[in-house]
Amino acid sequence: MFPLNASHNLFSRWGRQARASWLAWWQVVMMGAQILVLALTPSSYAQGPQRQSVLLQVYTATAPLLTWFLILSALVSLVLIRIVVATAYSYGLSQYALEVLVRTLVLELIPLYAAMFVAVRYAMPGAQAVRRRLSAQQREGVVSVPGVLLVTTLLPRALASVFSVLMLAALSGVVALVLTYFTVYGFSPWGLPGYTRGVGQVFTPAVTLIFALKTLFFSLAVAVVPLAASAQADAEGRFARRSDISEFARLFSVVLLIEVVSLVGNYY
């Protein structure tokens, strides 16, 4: 009897965990669809207090992060550029250094760490702040209307996250391309035709489309996944604090899936 009871309890626990995981992902999908619909309807945030809220969140998500992110991105880019260039010259493969740098740094790494930087510095702390506010309202007996919460609180934060990821990725990509030119050709303008030709050979229409879609989906993942979890009550119907590690793992799994799909599209 005891082994049967233990097996039954084990399967029941697995079933509850699977159901909770399914409900959490379904919440993410539904929240993402609602935010996407509202984002494509400018009348829902283009005027009045809602417009001020969106602009405030866009500033909060971008301006405080911009300086430090660009400095960090420039340092990381410079280190990687020196490593790739030195390795390519040592093996006599200097003609491939530019293509390798553009593909690894601009196409793959910059969108990824831009998304993770915004997630850690803005999206996840903001989601925890929303959850704390919902918990405080619940203790006070205030019932939040889901539609009002979505429009007034979640949508401005989601739009700000999307804008921040796209802005940081674009500026960091420009910085990386400029540093690559100066490292490979120095301050001479005579390398510009060959440099633009080499970069243009990498950014074919298909690669550019995949790069743009990947960055967009990264920004949508950063915008939706933390906020969807913040607006979801737990099994007891409360808004208790969630583990930052588990929320980051959920977000990273979505980002990793997008990255794998983009790699398949680029190289297979």
Residue in the block written with tokens 């930087």? 117
| Residue of 204, 223, 211 lying closest to 258 (CA atoms) | 211
78 burial via Cβ count (<10 Å: 0-12, 13-18, 19+): middle
pLDDT at 2: 45
Question: What is the dihedral sign for C-alpha 166, 169, 173, 179?
Answer: positive
pLDDT at 14: 67
- DSSP result, 16-29: HHHHHHHHHHHHHH
| Residue of 256, 69, 60 lying closest to 159 (CA atoms) | 60
Written as tens digits, the pLDDT of the chain (268 aa) is 445 555 556 556 666 666 666 777 777 788 778 888 888 887 777 777 888 888 999 999 999 999 999 999 999 999 998 888 888 888 877 778 888 888 888 888 999 999 999 999 999 888 888 888 877 766 776 656 556 777 888 889 999 999 999 999 999 999 999 998 888 888 888 888 888 888 888 888 888 999 999 999 999 999 988 887 776 656 555 556 666 787 788 888 999 999 999 988 887 7
What's the rounded Cα separation, in Å, for the pair 260 and 164?
23
What's the rounded Cα separation, in Å, for the pair 239 and 146?
14
**Helix, coil or strand: residue 46:** coil
pLDDT at 13: 65
pLDDT at 150: 79
pLDDT at 69: 93
pTM metric for this prediction = 0.87
For 63, the token pair is 């301006």
